[in-house]
Chains A and B, each alone.
Chain A
Amino acid sequence: AQSVSQHNHHVILSEAASLELGCNYSYGGTVNLFWYVQYPGQHLQLLLKYFSGDPLVKGIKGFEAEFIKSKFSFNLRKPSVQWSDTAEYFCAVRMDYGQNFVFGPGTRLSVLP
């Protein structure tokens, strides 16, 4: 079965530190890739998505992600995190158009002020 893995369960950073959250998937075909964020007490929101074209995708709030097809990866990055970025981050993959999303287990990010 297709799966999505996220490298870190919990990441703790100080403000202004750089962030990279890993995401890998197991599927050799065409994929659509997503990062969702869930702030404390709030529901899931789409952070950014990749369908095709430029593998470097810019999202909201200064986040970006890079699709590396050869590595089956879609890592999320932010050059300088803020306390308000404290949240849980979920990578999701849609293997073929019309199929459901497969989510990674999530990475909890704690940013210390």
Chain B
Amino acid sequence: GAGVSQSPSNKVTEKGKDVELRCDPISGHTALYWYRQSLGQGLEFLIYFQGNSAPDKSGLPSDRFSAERTGGSVSTLTIQRTQQEDSAVYLCASSSGAPSGSFGPGTRLTVL
């Protein structure tokens, strides 16, 4: 079946611009996670959605970052006024009731 998909696969933007990254989770998965992987770094948790509960935003690095999940399905991660340190691969994962995650291919963001 279809896995987690993310778009765009690559995004190059100029410092100060806003970007939106999209995640389409596996159909029926109630949980959705955003992580980022910077060059040479591990995976950094950003935000977690579970069903209709309030999202866990504890990993968002600044108020320039926000995410929403519409209708319990598609999620959009928005980064406002991008900075060079935002350059990373942004990964989305989704899971069903069982606690394991299927990851998407990621969006590589480059801020010039």
CB neighbours (8 Å) of B91 from chain A are: 43-44
User: Is the beta-carbon distance between B45 and A100 smaller than 8 angstroms?
Assistant: yes
Tell me whether chain B's interface is mostly helix, strand or loop, or mixed. Answer: strand
B59 interface residue (CB < 8 Å to A): yes
| Cα distance A103–B36 in the bound complex, in angstroms | 11
Interface residues of B, CB < 8 Å — how many?
22
Segment from B12-20, B61-69, B72-80, B96-104 that makes contact with A: B96-104
User: Is the beta-carbon distance between B50 and A98 smaller than 8 angstroms?
Assistant: yes
| Cα distance A45–B104 in the bound complex, in angstroms | 9
Interface size, A (range): 20 to 34
Chain A's nearest CB lies how many Å from the CB of B100?
5
Tell me whether chain A's interface is mostly helix, strand or loop, or mixed. Answer: strand
User: Is the beta-carbon distance between A101 and B42 smaller than 8 angstroms?
Assistant: no
CB neighbours (8 Å) of B103 from chain A are: 36, 43-45
CB neighbours (8 Å) of A46 from chain B are: 100-102
Known: A34-B100, A100-B33, A100-B56. A43 touches B105 (CB 8 A): yes
A residues apposed to B, CB below 8 Å = 32, 34, 36, 43-46, 49, 51, 90, 92, 94, 97-106
